[in-house]
Structures are given as structure tokens and as C-alpha cells.
Amino acid sequence: MTQELINVPIAERLRPQDLSEIVGQEHLLAKDKPLRKMIEKGELHSMIFWGPPGSGKTTLARIIAHYTKAIFVSFSAVTSGVADIRRVIKEAEANREQDNKSTILFVDEIHRFNKTQQDAFLPHVESGKIILIGATTENPSFEVIGPLLSRCRVYILHQLSPDNIKTILKRAMNHAQGLKEFNPNVSEKILDYIVNIAQGDARSALTTLDLAVQATEPDKNNLRKITETTIEHIASRKILLYDKGGEEHYNLISALHKCLRDSDPDASLYWLARMLEAGEDPLYIARRLVRFAVEDIGDANNLALVVANAAKEAVDFIGRPEGDLALAQAVVFLAMAPKSNSIYRAYGMAKKDALESQTEPVPLHLRNPVTSLMKNIGYGKDYKYAHDFPDAKIDQEHFPPSLKGRKYYKPYPRKKS
């Protein structure tokens, strides 16, 4: 392998050039699947590939261009603007007029384009001047404007399985443009370790293996035996797939909330650890635990709110990593506590009435007569002072006339702890 080729990242050197070389994504690319048939027939339409890093979005876009004989223009949402879009459109028009060739405009990280930039694509996608293929790790229904989304088909790419990643690594070790000439000696245990670190990201797995091979000196048999220590030094630690501003953020907090509601302390601890170790703000988690305490436990255990607030104060006071244990303690307590949403439901009904019913004045007997004029016109008249009655309980109307007799709070017959 030439030095020039070695300088090209291994993921790029080994990028599949044909559908048969793609590993994974069988739900899209098996022989009987519509997308596979469309590619093989050379048919084109604008589309968006939504999937995690290293799942093959760019590779698939390039292969579509290869099969359809279209001109492939790669475009980065990070470095390009509206002026670049206009230039590409102009070139696409010239290619169609001169050579009758379609242009595929591949936009990596399309979710990073703002609304104005995305709007610039619309008329050209609509007219067919360009075939837009966008790639995103974010849910396109949140990040891509509706008019553009409606003109594209969305294809979801799945995270590559451990077996998929291992297949890719073994291919790299035996490929002439991969690592074959370095004679890597990599055990199944080490491969599994790299696979675990990669978390479904083929690019990350290949890069880790490449760096490990490059960093290992050949032995007397000219073999480079990769050790776990070498991998640890290169990878530092497993990077958990997470985006604090994206869909995965909401998926994980949803999982934690639902496991707490289902009284599963073990799964709750797992999702808590996933979020914390991926870099989530612990105070955000603490705020969600406070919300859970009032929304899903409420009057079933009044200590829940106290515990959740105490965890929040502890995290704010001592920070990480010590504060993680305070969150863990709160999570276990909340998971094991009896559940009731009676307060959540009651307030929801009261709020609905407050917003939707006629805004009536406070009944006179509930008003405080702070001046003689107020007293003369009936403020506080006939009000019954609760402490003058047995058990300080009194039956008098507290609602405006249109809501007379309203009942919101209906506690469930659950044993409180």
C-alpha cells in the first residue's frame, strides 16, 4: 500500500462500492426490499437517511449514485451555506442540459441547516433539478422542515449489530487496502472488546483497530499482536451514543421515567447510569425526578418529593461523581414507592376548569373584609370559621356558582407508606 493511500482514513479506504459489500441494513437492502430494487433499477427520488453514526448513510448515498450513473456532489451542512447551494444548483442545471445527467446532492448532517437554508432546496427538489439525499443522526420530523420532509422519503438505518461490526473488522484485517500487509494478530476477545467500545459505529471500530495495529510493533514472526492494554490506551473509554439536545436525550429520560413508574429499580438504575456516563447534566435528571415524585407518586408517599428534592440539593452541593449516588438513592426510593397520579389528575381537571370555564368572581363569603366598606357590602358575610367546628371541618361552598360541587381529588385506595 502506498503512503498516500495509508494517509486516507481506513473507513474511507474500505468504503463499500457495491450493494453486495454492505454489511447490515437488511431491512432496507435485502434482495426483496423496495429500496434495493429501486437502486438496482437506477430509479431516483429524494430521500433522507436517518440513523446513528457509522451505520452507512454516506456509503449508501454513494452507491446509489454509482448504480444510477448520477453525478455525486457531497455537501456538508457544517461548512456550507445558501451561496454554495446556489452554485451547486447551477452546476446541476448545466449537467442536465449538456450531458443529460442527474445530480445527487448529498447533504451530510442536514439537521444542522437552519430553516432558511433548508428552504433554499425546496424549489429545486420540487422541479427535479437535483436529487436530494440528506443524512442525519437526529429525528427528521423534529429537525427537517415540513415542506422539505414531505418531498423526501425517510429511510431509517439501524445501529449495526455486534456481529456486523465484527464482520467489518475481520474484512479490514484481510483486505489489501486495509490492514493485511501489517499482519495483525487479533483474538476474538480483543475483537469483542473493540466491538463493545464502538457501540454499533463501524467507522469508530475501524479507526480503533487501525490505530492499535499501527501502534503495535511486529514480533520476530512479523506479527502484530494486539493487546487489551493497547486498545484501552487508544480508546480511553467506551463512548456512549447520546445527544443531549436530540432525540436520544428524550428517549433515555422517557425510559427512566417509565421504569420508575413500573416500579423497576434495576432498569431505572441502568437508564440513570446510561445518561450520567454519557454526560447528561445531573441537575436535569434531578429536576425530572422531582417531577416524577409529584406526578406519579404524589399522595401515595409524601416523602417522595422530599427525597427527590434532597437528591437535587446533594447533586448541586457536591457535584459529580459523588452526587451520582444521591441520584441513584433517589431513583431506587422512587421506584420502590407506591404510585398514585391522583394529584396529577386532580390538578389537570382544576386547570382545565380554570382555563375554560367562565371567570366568575370569588364568592363574597370567601373574601376578606379588610375595610369597613368591604364589610358593609358583604365581604366575609356568613363565612364559617373551621376551628369553631368539630375536627376543624366545615361544609360550605367554596366554588363559584357555575362550578358548585365540583370534585377533582379522588385518591386511589392504595396503602400509603
Given this model, what pLDDT does residue 1 score? Answer: 58
Lowest mean pLDDT among 165-174, 184-193, 231-240: 231-240
End-of-domain residue from the set 307, 336, 365: 336
Given this model, what pLDDT does residue 78 score? Answer: 65
Domain of residue 263, CATH code: 1.20.272.10
Mention every residue, 6+ apart, whose C-beta is less than 8 A from residue 92.
Answer: 71, 73, 103, 105, 124, 129, 130
| Cell numbers given for 293 | 415524585
pLDDT band at 234 (very low <50, low <70, confident <90, very high): confident
The reply to whether 397 falls in a domain is no
140/204 same-domain check: no
Given this model, what pLDDT does residue 241 score? Answer: 54
pLDDT band at 193 (very low <50, low <70, confident <90, very high): confident
Given this model, what pLDDT does residue 266 score? Answer: 95
Between 95 and 283, where is the model more confident?
A: 283
Span 357-416, pLDDT tens digits: 888 888 888 888 888 888 888 898 988 888 888 888 888 888 998 898 889 988 866 554
Share of the chain above pLDDT 70, in %: 93
Given this model, what pLDDT does residue 285 score? Answer: 93
- What pTM value is reported for the model? 0.60
Between 238 and 204, where is the model more confident?
A: 204
The reply to whether 13 falls in a domain is no
Domain of residue 90, CATH code: 3.40.50.300
Span 293-330, pLDDT tens digits: 999 999 999 999 999 999 999 998 888 888 899 999 99
The reply to whether 385 falls in a domain is no
| Cell numbers given for 137 | 443522526
215/231 same-domain check: yes
**Of 120, 160, 113, 130, the residue nearest 44 (C-alpha):** 130
pLDDT band at 116 (very low <50, low <70, confident <90, very high): confident
Domain of residue 173, CATH code: 1.10.8.60
How far is C-alpha 118 from the geometric centre of its chain's CA atoms? 22
End-of-domain residue from the set 110, 132, 156: 156
Mention every residue, 6+ apart, whose C-beta is less than 8 A from residue 305.
Answer: 290, 293, 294, 297
Burial of 63 (0-12, 13-18, 19+ CB in 10 A): buried
Domain span at residue 215 reads 162-235
CB 126 within 8 A of CB 46: no
Given this model, what pLDDT does residue 416 score? Answer: 47
Given this model, what pLDDT does residue 240 score? Answer: 52
The reply to whether 48 falls in a domain is yes
β partners of residue 103? 71
**How many Å apart are CA 263 and CA 336, to the nearest integer?**
6
The reply to whether 411 falls in a domain is no
Given this model, what pLDDT does residue 2 score? Answer: 59
Number of domains present in the structure of the chain: 3
139/172 same-domain check: no
Query: First vs last Cα of the chain: how many Å apart?
Result: 71
219/253 same-domain check: no
pLDDT band at 417 (very low <50, low <70, confident <90, very high): very low
312/329 same-domain check: yes
**How many Å apart are CA 122 and CA 147, to the nearest integer?**
7
The reply to whether 193 falls in a domain is yes
Quick check: 242 pLDDT over 80? Answer: no
150/168 same-domain check: no
The reply to whether 132 falls in a domain is yes
Given this model, what pLDDT does residue 43 score? Answer: 81
166/267 same-domain check: no
Q: What is the mean pLDDT of residues 91-106?
A: 79
152/166 same-domain check: no
Q: What is the mean pLDDT of residues 100-112?
A: 83
Quick check: 127 pLDDT over 50? Answer: yes
142/196 same-domain check: no
SS3 string, the chain, reads CCHHHHCCCHHHHCCCCCHHHCCCCHHHHCCCCHHHHHHHHCCCCCEEEECCCCCCHHHHHHHHHHHHCCEEEEEECCCCCHHHHHHHHHHHHHHHHHHCCCEEEEEECHHHCCHHHHHHHHHHHHHCCCEEEEEECCCHHHHCCHHHHCCCEEEECCCCCHHHHHHHHHHHHCCCCCCHHHCEECCHHHHHHHHHHHCCCHHHHHHHHHHHHHHCCCCCCCCEECCHHHHHHHHCCCCCCCCCCCHHHHHHHHHHHHHHHCCCHHHHHHHHHHHHHCCCCHHHHHHHHHHHHHHHHHHHCCHHHHHHHHHHHHHHHHCCCHHHHHHHHHHHHHHHCCCCCHHHHHHHHHHHHHHHCCCCCCCHHHCCCCCHHHHHCCCCCCCCCHHHCHHHCCCCCCCCHHHCCCCCCCCCCCCCC
The reply to whether 387 falls in a domain is no
301/181 same-domain check: no
210/260 same-domain check: no
End-of-domain residue from the set 206, 235, 264: 235
Q: What is the mean pLDDT of residues 250-271?
A: 92
Lowest mean pLDDT among 18-32, 83-97, 169-183: 83-97
Mention every residue, 6+ apart, whose C-beta is less than 8 A from residue 4.
Answer: none
CB 283 within 8 A of CB 315: yes
166/133 same-domain check: no
Quick check: 18 pLDDT over 50? Answer: yes
Mention every residue, 6+ apart, whose C-beta is less than 8 A from residue 65.
Answer: 71, 72, 104, 106
* Average pLDDT score, the chain: 86
Span 197-212, pLDDT tens digits: 887 889 889 999 999 9
